[in-house]
Structure 1
């Protein structure tokens, strides 16, 4: 069995385990560089739980890499950016989740790359953004912005006006996540718009506190309003 397949099997076994959080420490026995390719592969796994958990594991792995060599961490983050580029021929599914988790776990990575993540929702030429036309891929970006705003809201606040646009997104996930971020960055100017969405019944299935959660747009909007106080 190749090194890649061997590591991937071990990592997948950990992430598929009901006790996966306790077992994450086992990943410390691998070099970060050996974990990155299998984790990128597992973001497309057949199991929903493994797909989500691979992002969590990547964030921890990227932080270890940044601590040892920030230059190597930059290379990995640039690789993720390349995955998001149409010219790469790659699928961007899950990549924004990986980017966000890396920034949650490493302040140095966050400082250098947060503007890239936010730029994927920029929707006008003035901001020279990288707006993603595909609504389902934007979901991953908005979810990533929720994660980043939970820990480093000041790095997301400059995207406020584009998050406001997200409240009108036809995709329920994007409305819900945009609302949640606006609450986390204390965007008081969004209060009226959020009040109008607080009873939105559209359902979404997300990953929250490392658990899969079924909720509604309205519930996340009300959480955002609670954050505004």
Structure 2
């Protein structure tokens, strides 16, 4: 079986209630070189779902996280993997404390990935240190969205899917900036940044999507799911 077939088989094993067998397969797939493109998405998501139902699966996921942490000094790129695993575990404090222990050069490289965990733990002073100019960060994100939008044809399903994905990524950065400013007590700057997050977007359809997401967080993801369902129906 190829990797996708093995993953589908593991899903079925899980669905059938054979939790230990599913755990063994998810664990094997995570370390499988051929599954590199799926390990932090489909494989990890399935493993985390199993962990909600089967305590040994959660314990194994924690053990994996700890193993990767031990390997981090020799493989700095593993911080990303550890952060994603912690997100699935709901253990943002682990990411926060791990980030605090990083050498400065490595911390600089991983600051963006760690910022949500840092702020979730209430350390806005540290977050501001690694994102000292949030308004500039917002402007760069808007510039990138505008460039991407110029390449998308929203009259096609593929183009609309691209637009929604780009808006989702952009509004994730917007939320990061707003959370940081509000967390630092700079509510006036946050209010201005919220307005700029919309006004900086050039294309009317993209601007409308951004406004909708700010008004009702989750709107973009719902639209992405609805579009996908309409394609597969």
- Relative to total residues, which structure has the larger helix share, 1 or 2? 2
TM-score by length of 1: 0.49
Max Rg structure? 2
Would you tell me which structure has more strand in proportion to its own residues? 1
The normalised TM-score by structure 2 is 0.48
